[in-house]
Amino acid sequence: MPLSKRLAAELIGTFWLVLGGCGSAVLAAAFPNLGIGFAGVALAFGLTLLTMAFAIGGISGCHINPAVTVGLWAARRFNGRDVIPYIVAQVVGGIIAGGVLYIIASGQAGFTTANGFASNGYAEHSPGHFSLLACAVCEVVMTLMFIFIIAASTDKRVVAGFAPIPIGLALTLIHLISIPVTNTSVNPARSTAVAVYVGGWAVAQLWLFWVAPIVGGAIGGKLYDMLFASDA
């Protein structure tokens, strides 16, 4: 598949992930009387990934996350020369989705990004006011397990065609665990997509939501490589 088509698929996929996941958090999580809450937001992120995995998995592999791209490279499942182009496409797709979400959300009277606009944060900007260390460990471990599940579920020895299901469920579970801690990143493109519209503290804290998921993704990919690749 030409790189141009794969990058277009990654842009579209990340757009949908941010619009569906962050959109549910911004527009529906606390909607009066009918809010979907943390569980609904978690499910929304899982469903966006599951639907895109089926839609574009055969084109680009449906990374739609820089940590996944780095993790699969660490797992020796992805060509290193395509890492940067994939990440750029993912970030661009996410930022476009953030812009669309901003336009929609700002159509409501009293809208303000002061509520966070689904941004990730630590310390005073953590939903549960968790420390920087707690947030860093959470993001590393959650991303590590996410990438391990992705790599293992798409291993050639696993029955083909079903991988989007455990992958989507894994992202749902990760959100159920970690929304109170960091508002759940495990995806630097998702974090960047909304932080740029909030500015201030969200941009200042964005470094963690690049470093921790990338580190976790690389470890998860290597863990898969250690357990699986030698027998592949």
Give residue 172's identity as a one-letter amino acid code: T
Q: What is the assigned CATH class of domain 3-106+118-227?
A: mainly alpha
SS3 41: helix
- pLDDT of amino acid 34: 64
Helices (H), the chain: 3-23, 37-60, 66-74, 83-105, 132-153, 164-182, 188-198, 200-204, 208-227
Pairwise CA distance, residues 84 & 177, whole Å: 30
pLDDT at 32 over 70: no
What's the pLDDT band for 115 if we cut at 50, 70, 90?
A: confident
- pLDDT of amino acid 232: 45
Pairwise CA distance, residues 156 & 63, whole Å: 17
Scanning the structure block, which residue is given the tokens 């006011």?
129
- pLDDT of amino acid 121: 97
Cβ atoms 187, 66 nearer than 8 A: yes
Pairwise CA distance, residues 89 & 80, whole Å: 15
For 121-161, write each residue's pLDDT tens digit: 999 999 999 999 999 999 999 999 999 999 999 988 877 78
Tokens coding 225: 């490589």
- pLDDT of amino acid 165: 94
- pLDDT of amino acid 33: 66
Residues 6 or more apart whose Cβ sits within 8 Å of residue 6: 59, 60, 61, 82, 86
Mean pLDDT within 170-195:
97
Mean pLDDT within 47-70:
96
Mean pLDDT within 77-92:
97
Mean pLDDT within 206-220:
98
What's the pLDDT band for 110 if we cut at 50, 70, 90?
A: confident
Average pLDDT, the chain: 94
